[in-house]
Each structure stands twice: as C-alpha cells, then as structure tokens.
C-alpha cells in the first residue's frame, strides 16, 4: 500500500487480450507524482523512437494523479497520453468529471494499453476484474450516444470514456469523451485509442483510498470549502463558468476572429456568458468533489435540426467554433459544440480546422465541387456540420483535413500554410498572441504545441506592456511549471487561479494524502520542470530526422509574424520574426538550454535526467548553455505596485 | 459618496482590499461610471472581465449609488 495512491499499475495488450498487474513502485510515484508525470516517463522509456502514433507499439497511457479521488478541491482529473499523431512527440490531455477518481477507487494509478484489438472492443474494469469485451454494437456511434448505451448496459455506477467516429477513423484531432460533454481533447489521444480499436473504457471502483492523515485532511478541506464558498469570484463562476470571459477577450483584442484574421468581433456580447445562461442553460454541472459547478449544461433547438443537449460551450469552444468561424449566435455555437462532441472531435482544433477551411474557401483555394456541392461560408451551421462530417469520415478532401492542419495546407497549397493556425501541428487555443507576445511565446514553446493550459499570460502582457517582448520569457517558464503541475497531481487549476487556494495548500493536501512530510513546493516545481525537459527531449529525439535543432519547431504559422492585426483594440499590433527570435533566445537562456533550443547537459543533470543527456549527446543534440545555469529556472511575476 | 468594490484572485493584488480580505472602500462622487471609478483608484479596466451588483451583471458604464457593493470579476486566466 502507498498512501494516497490506488496502488496498482495495470498493463493491457489488446492484441492478445492479456492483462498484467503490478504494485506501483513508491520511488517512481514520488519522482513523477502521477498524471502527466507518470505518462511522460512511460512514453519516454517504452515507446521506440521509430514507432508512429498509430502503430501497435504506441501506448495509450491513462493516469489519475495523487489527488484524484481525494477530498481535495476538485480532485477530479485524469490524464490520457500517447505519442501524438499531431506532433510525433509526447502528447497528453486531461479531463475532469468522474473517471479518474473511479479508476483510483478500482486501485489503478497507471493503465498502459498496447497493441491493436482484432475487432472493435472496449475495456471493462470492475474493481479487480479486467476484461476486453466486444464493442461491435457501439462502434460507429457518436461519443455521447455510445456513453449512454454503455451506461444502459452496464449500469449508471460505471464511469465511462468513449471515442466517436473521428477516433475510429484516426482523425488526428480526435478526442476522448466522458460524462456527456467533457473531453481529453488535445494531442489526438482519441485517434490513438481508435487505432487500437478501443471504443470505450468502463470502470467501476468500490475500494477506498488510503489517506495518511484523514482527520487533518477533513479539517483543512472543510475550511477551504467554507472560505472559497464566500469568495467573490465563486458566484460568477458558479453562474456563468468560463463563458463569462468572451467579451473580455474580445474587448482586450485577443479574441480569434475568422481564422485569426483579426482579434476583435462586432456584436460579440451575443456570445458572452449571460447570453448562454439566459437562452440555453438547463442546469449547472460539476466534477467529482467540486462545489464550483462551472459546467453549463445547455439545450439547443435550431430550425431543421434535432434538439440536442451539450455541456458548454465553454470559452475555448465558444472562441474557436464561434467567432473564429464567423458565428454570432450562441445557440449556433452551442450546436457546433455538440457536432464536435458527438463526432468525437476536439472542439478547439475541430473549430480551427473549420475556420481554416472557411478561409481557404473564401480565397478560392478549395471549391464547392470539392466540398460535395456545399459551400464553406463564415457563420453557416450547415456548412460547418457538413465539412466536419467530411473530415470525420474522411470523405474527399475531408481526408486531407483529417490528417491535420499542416498536412492539409501542404495538399491545398496556394500559400495556405501561412494561415494554418498551429504550432507543432496542434491547433492554437482561443487567444491571438500578436497583441499579447508572452502568450504567443507560451504557445511557441509549449511541449505539446499551441495549447493555453501550459501557460496563460495575457494579464501579465497587459501589466508589463502589450507591445513589449523583452523580459517576459522567464515569467513564461515559471507559468509552464506551476500551471501543468495541477494536471500532474490531477486537481482542477481553477481553485488556484480563481479562488485563491494557494500552491502551498495543494502541497499540504499531498502531504496529508501521502505522508511525504518532507514534500515541498520547491520539489513539486522541480518535478514539473523535469517533466517539461523530458517531454522536450522526447520530442527532439522523435523528430531528429526533420531537424536536430529544437528552435526549428518553435515557430507559429507566418500570420503571427507577417500580418498586423487589422481591427479592434489590437489594431496595428504586429510582431516580427526578429522579435520572436529574441523571445526564444531569452526563453532558452532562462531554461538552461542552448541557443538551438535543445536542453543542455547541465540542466538535465541538475534535474536527475543524466540518461536523457546521454541519449541527446549520442544523437548529437545536446544544447550548449548560453550563460551559466540559473539556480532556479523561471520567475514568479509580481504585479507592479500602483 | 461611498461604494465598495469586491474582488479576489488576480484582482486582489491590484484592488488592495482594506475592509476585509476582498473588499475595498472607495470614496467617489455621484455620476461617475464604474470604469471611471476604477481609473480613479488606478485599477486598470482591462483587469476586470465582469461587474456584478446584487447578483446581476452590470455594464462598466453603470453609475453606482451610495453604498453599492460591486463585485469585480478578473479574467478567467485561460478558459
């Protein structure tokens, strides 16, 4: 038994239906903490570099971290990881809801799935019983439809993750869905699950988790509940969720509009949180152990369409399936959200793909004939839905887009790579970085590509200066350590960022759960940095045939350094390639990497990654320090005093 | 005229609460908008995503009355 953990590592080879169980190694647990920490180490050590995302030797790794299932602020998360079909590097994505805790209650901290099933299957876990079962009746069904069928067949007390047709058809931005509308959306983890012919994982766990100091855990967390329940931010969160952020984003010139052509949208208040709540809300929805209930369950009735229910749209979907595709009505955006969810597409990259296609159509680079007689106009639900069905079922040119933004732009040509909005193949999150340079740097350097949850910087950009590029890199480094830490230990970061539960209180929660009395925030940040560097090395080793210099991969598409923002509060904002390079120089120096963007022996050694340094050296890819290694990498931002 | 701004999270460091952990008392004049009052206390409007009075969202052009307690909501930090 290890306090805080379920205690088991389970390996399943779906090719031969073999299952093996081992006790979790306590040293491994302490060093990597769980969630994306466990996943990054398993992928680095066990997936040969020649293996591609859809090969049987790729692994789908599932891990709820230390605090998942515990009585900590929203210990609800579960992380899914694999070598990503988008980047050919480490990929991971985290989902809330109830799946992670249930897996812990079945005693599982780490689930490693290998191989390809002979026929469509699902993984059935009922405490110690683990079986690979036939999924023929669920295959081909939408994500949410399949979840409902499985609940009806197995019982409501099973927690279930599914993929949709997009995952079955290996669409590279396919997601893993859970709880009728939550997703592990990024990195194409759903496509990897589909490549293994696994439609779903269903789990029921009835065991208890061993807690080192249960009495203190109860006392401390009850105090946190009482304190945060009257926090001034709690009520708006409970009422509107992330959707309340839409107008702010627009009014501050970062809201992606029409495939990031501009950063401001007229009439944007029609997509804001109050519109969602007034017009569509059915009920609020919360994850395991959460009293914030930021999820908004909506009912959508559009003329000529079936009435659908969807969780959301939250901010990212609102931005990327909304203004970014030219939509101005909240009910239409919510319907688009449902289209993506049930097809099993990441609504962020799915929205990005649709917006890219709309701009290609506008510029005459794709035609009505290629779209099966349909158009691809801004703000048209029929066009949006038809196009994403073409992508999901790989019909016609939908097949190009199903392979991702970069492969599609290569086939389309006509300079379209300039506005295929991505970094490392990952479609960009819902903030334009031209008027927020640190945000752009955060996208450029994120280990999984252009994703906001590794670091979000826009208020920092605002405080230091929206046109300032110098001096922000070390602040981005700090955020890239603290923010993903919450995914590693599997609690919701909102309690940190929004209602003032401090990182130190999260460390206390870990100590109370595990009994690691010498565990500190400093150790947690070093672990987070170790994960970051391991993922970077993994990405470089896998992509060395393209370039041995990490810098090569750290640029966004050219729109972000060739075009000025044309309208709105950010009008005229423009970054140059030289400015991007300056930010990268500062960033690599702050990380203890070489000017080529590769980790140095010194920083890897300092992080106990000597074997990784040896691997990079053998491949001729070690970085050379730009200046003496900083003792602590990254710097916490302190707001200026007024 | 006295009004109160409440704010937490990111805003706390800028709002400088003085009544309790989240509340700042502000002396101002009738007829000023929320935006103007924020500027009066050097609180950047860009740090506020939403203003709420008695549970309802109000525009930044709203002119508070004596004793109003207005909750200021910072940006979501990432969606």
- Dig out the tokens for B31 from the structure: 């007829």
* Closest alpha carbon within chain A to B41: A642
pLDDT at A72 over 90: no
Name the E strands within A44-107: 60-63, 78-83, 90-95
pLDDT tens-place string over residues A572-587 = 999 999 999 999 999 9
- Any chain A CB within 8 A of the CB of B71? yes
pLDDT (average), residues A228-253:
93
Within an 8 Å CB–CB cutoff, is residue A312 touching chain B?
Answer: no
Instruction: Using a CB–CB cutoff of 8 Å, tell me whether B24 touches chain A.
Output: no
Q: Helices in chain B by DSSP H: which ranges?
A: 12-15, 34-40
Rounded alpha-carbon distances, angstroms, from residue A242 to A234, A317, A380, A458: 12, 10, 24, 16
Q: What is the pLDDT of residues A335-346, one digit of tens each?
A: 999 999 999 999
- Torsion, Cα A99 B76 A87 A192, to 10 degrees, reads 20
**ipTM score of complex:** 0.90
Instruction: Specify whether the CB–CB gap between A370 and A376 falls below 8 A.
Output: no
Contact A634, A481 (CB under 8 A): yes
Whether A640 has a pLDDT exceeding 90, the answer reads: no
Interfacial A residues in 401-440 facing B (CB < 8 Å): 429-431
Nearest residue to A497 via CA among B75, B24, B52: B75
Query: Which candidate, A344, A416, A278, places its Cα nearest to that of A145?
Result: A344
Phi, psi values for residue A19, rounded to 5°: -130, 130
Residue A323: count other Cβ atoms within 10 Å of its Cβ: 31
Residue A11 in this model has a pLDDT that exceeds 70: yes
Q: Is A569 on the interface with B (CB under 8 A)?
A: no
Burial of A307 (0-12, 13-18, 19+ CB in 10 A): exposed
Quick check: A164 pLDDT over 50? yes
Distance between CA B27 and CA A642 in Å, rounded? 18
A22 by Cβ neighbours in 10 Å (0-12 / 13-18 / 19+) ranks as exposed
Task: Choose the mutation target among A229, A233, A466, A640 for the interface with B, i.e. most B CBs under 10 Å.
Answer: A233
Chain B touched by A236 (CB under 8 Å): yes
- Per-residue model confidence (pLDDT) at position A497: 86
Contact B39, B54 (CB under 8 A): no
| Nearest to A268, CA basis, from A323, A229, A309 | A323
Q: Is B17 on the interface with A (CB under 8 A)?
A: no
Cα separation, A59 vs A110, in Å, equals: 12
Residue the block writes with tokens 């109370």: A512
Residues 244-283 of A with CB under 8 A from B: 244-245, 247-249, 251-252, 273-274
Q: Per the CB < 8 Å rule, is A500 touching B74? A: no
Flag whether pLDDT at A167 surpasses 80.
Answer: yes
User: Does the pLDDT at position B42 exceed 80?
Assistant: yes
Spatial separation of the C-alpha atoms in residues A283 and A409, rounded to whole Å: 40
Q: Name the helix (H) or strand (E) containing A350.
A: helix A347-362
**Residues 6 or more apart from A156 whose CB is under 8 A from it?**
none
What does the DSSP 8-state code read for residue A401?
H
Residues of A in contact with B22 (CB under 8 A): 231-232
In this prediction, residues A319-328 reach a mean pLDDT of 98
What DSSP string describes A209-273?
Answer: PP-TTHHHHHHHHHHHHHHHHT-TTHHHHHHHGGGGGHHHHHHTT---BTTTTBS--TTGGGGSH
The answer, for A319 touching chain B at a CB cutoff of 8 Å, is yes
pLDDT digits (tens, 9 = 90+) for A264-297: 999 899 999 999 999 999 999 999 999 999 999 9
pLDDT in tens, A488-522: 999 999 999 889 999 999 999 999 999 999 999 99
Q: How far is CA A517 from CA A381, A509, A510, A521, A592, in A?
A: 55, 11, 9, 12, 30
Give yes or no for residue A312 having a pLDDT over 80: yes
Q: Do A232 and B10 touch (CB under 8 A)?
A: no
Testing the interface with B: which of A232, A277, A316 to mutate, by most B Cβ within 10 A?
A: A232
Task: Give the model's pLDDT for residue A71.
Answer: 82
Nearest CB neighbour to A236, from listed B16, B22, B73: B73
B54–chain A Cβ distance below 8 A for any pair: no
Record: contact B46-A316, CB cut-off 8 A: no
Residue B19 contacts A, CB cutoff 8 Å: no
Looking at residue A634, the DSSP 8-state letter turns out to be: S
With CB atoms and an 8 Å threshold, state whether B79 touches A459.
Answer: no
Which token pair is B29? 């004049």
At residue A642, the pLDDT reads 43
Which residue in chain B has the smallest CA separation from A457?
Answer: B77
What confidence category does residue B75 fall into, taking pLDDT thresholds of 50, 70 and 90?
confident
> Is A462 touching B (CB cutoff 8 A)?
yes
Cβ-defined contact of B9 to A452 (cutoff 8 Å):
no
Q: How far apart are CA A510 and CA A566, in angstroms?
A: 48
Distance CA A458, CA A132 (A): 46
- Per-residue pLDDT tens over the stretch A78-107: 999 999 999 999 999 999 999 999 999 999
Q: Does A453 touch chain B (CB under 8 A)?
A: yes
Q: What is the pLDDT of residue A159?
A: 98
Question: With 80 as the cut, is the pLDDT of residue A641 above it?
Answer: no
Helix residue ranges per DSSP H, A456-547: 458-464, 473-489, 494-497, 503-514, 521-542
Please, where are the H alpha helices in A553-623? 559-562, 577-591, 601-606, 610-618
Residues whose CB is less than 8 angstroms from the CB of residue A245 and which lie 6 or more positions away in sequence, other chains included: A273, A315, B49, B75, B76, B79
Q: How many contacts (CB atoms, under 8 Å) link A and B? A: 87
pLDDT at A623 > cutoff 60: yes
Q: pLDDT tens digits for A522-539?
A: 999 999 999 999 999 999
* CB-based contact, B8 to chain A, within 8 Å: yes
The share of chain A scoring above pLDDT 90, in percent, equals 97
Mean of per-residue pLDDT scores for chain A: 96
Alpha-carbon span A433 to A446, nearest angstrom = 14
Q: Counting every residue, how long is chain A?
A: 642
Select from A352, A338, A322, A392 the least CA-distant residue to A172: A392
Query: What is the 3 state secondary structure string of A124-192?
Result: EEECCEEEEEECCCCCCCCHHHHHHHHHHHHCCCCEEEECCHHHHCCCCCECEEECCCEEECHHHHHHH
Q: What average pLDDT does this structure show over A253-269? A: 96
The pLDDT value recorded for residue A611 is: 98
Average pLDDT, stretch A155-179?
98
Nearest-Cα distance to chain B for A359, in Å, is 25
For chain A, what percent of residues have pLDDT higher than 70? 99
């Amino acid at each position: 038994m290890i306090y805080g953990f379920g205690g088991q590592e389970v390996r399943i080879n779906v090719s031969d239906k073999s299952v093996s169980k081992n006790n979790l190694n306590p040293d491994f647990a302490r060093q990597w903490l769980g969630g994306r920490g466990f996943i990054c180490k398993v992928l680095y050590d066990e997936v040969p570099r020649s293996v591609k995302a859809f090969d049987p030797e790729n692994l789908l790794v599932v891990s709820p971290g230390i605090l998942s299932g515990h009585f900590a602020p929203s210990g609800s998360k579960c992380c899914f990881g694999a070598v990503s079909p988008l980047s050919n590097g480490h990929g991971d994505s985290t989902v809330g809801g109830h799946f992670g805790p249930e897996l812990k209650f079945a005693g599982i901290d780490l689930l490693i799935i290998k191989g390809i099933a002979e026929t469509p299957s699902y993984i059935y876990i009922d405490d110690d019983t683990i079986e690979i079962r036939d999924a023929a009746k669920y295959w081909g069904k939408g994500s949410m439809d399949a979840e409902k069928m499985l609940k009806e067949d197995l019982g409501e007390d099973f927690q279930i993750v599914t993929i949709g047709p997009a995952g079955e058809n290996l669409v590279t931005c396919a997601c893993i869905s859970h709880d009728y509308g939550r997703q592990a959306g990024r990195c194409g983890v759903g496509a990897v699950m589909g490549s293994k012919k696994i439609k779903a994982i269903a789990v029921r766990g009835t065991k208890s988790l061993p807690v080192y100091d249960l009495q203190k855990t109860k006392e401390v967390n009850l105090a946190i509940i009482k304190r945060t329940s009257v926090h001034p931010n709690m009520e708006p969160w409970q009422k509107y969720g992330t959707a309340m952020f839409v107008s702010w984003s627009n009014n501050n010139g970062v809201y992606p509009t029409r495939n990031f052509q501009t950063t401001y949208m007229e009439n944007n208040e029609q997509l804001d949180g109050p519109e969602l709540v007034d017009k569509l809300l059915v009920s609020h929805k919360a994850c395991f152990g959460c009293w914030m209930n930021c999820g908004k369950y909506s009912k959508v009735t559009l003329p000529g369409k079936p009435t659908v229910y969807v969780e959301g749209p939250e901010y990212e979907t609102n931005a990327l399936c909304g203004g970014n595709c030219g939509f101005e009505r909240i009910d239409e955006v919510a319907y688009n959200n449902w289209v993506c969810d049930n097809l099993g597409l990441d609504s962020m990259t799915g929205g990005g793909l649709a917006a890219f296609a709309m701009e290609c159509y506008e510029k005459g680079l794709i035609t009505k004939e290629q779209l099966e007689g349909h158009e691809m106009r801004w703000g048209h639900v029929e066009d949006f839905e038809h196009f994403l069905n073409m992508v999901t079922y790989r019909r016609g040119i939908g097949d190009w887009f199903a392979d991702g933004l970069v492969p599609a732009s290569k086939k389309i040509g006509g300079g379209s790579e300039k506005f295929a909005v991505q970094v490392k193949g990952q479609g960009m999150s819902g903030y334009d970085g031209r008027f927020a340079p640190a945000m752009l740097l955060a996208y450029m350097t994120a280990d999984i590509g252009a994703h906001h949850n590794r670091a979000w910087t826009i208020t920092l950009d605002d405080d230091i200066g929206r046109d300032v590029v110098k001096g922000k890199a070390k602040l981005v480094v700090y955020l890239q350590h603290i923010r993903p830490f919450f995914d590693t230990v599997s609690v919701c970061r909102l309690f940190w960022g929004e209602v003032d539960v401090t990182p130190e209180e999260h460390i206390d929660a870990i100590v109370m759960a595990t009994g690691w009395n010498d565990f500190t925030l400093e150790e947690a940040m070093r672990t987070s940095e170790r994960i970051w560097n391991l993922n970077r090395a993994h990405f470089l080793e896998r992509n060395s045939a393209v370039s041995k210099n990490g810098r090569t991969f750290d640029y966004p598409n050219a729109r972000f350094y060739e075009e000025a923002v044309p309208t709105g509060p950010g009008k005229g904002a423009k970054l140059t390639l030289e400015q991007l390079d300056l930010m990268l120089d500062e960033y690599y120096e702050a990380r203890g990497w070489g000017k080529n963007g590769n980790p140095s022996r010194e920083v890897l050694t300092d992080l106990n990654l000597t074997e990784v340094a040896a691997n990079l050296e053998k491949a001729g890819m070690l970085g050379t320090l730009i200046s003496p290694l900083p003792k602590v990498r990254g710097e916490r931002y302190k707001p200026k005093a007024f | 005229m006295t009004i109160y701004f409440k704010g937490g999270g990111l805003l706390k460091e800028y709002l400088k609460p003085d009544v309790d952990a989240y509340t700042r008392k502000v002396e101002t004049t009738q007829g000023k908008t929320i935006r103007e009052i924020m500027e009066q206390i050097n609180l950047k409007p860009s740090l506020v995503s939403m203003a709420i009075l008695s549970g309802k969202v109000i525009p930044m052009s709203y002119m508070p009355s004596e004793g109003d307690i207005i909750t200021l909501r910072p940006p979501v930090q990432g969606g």
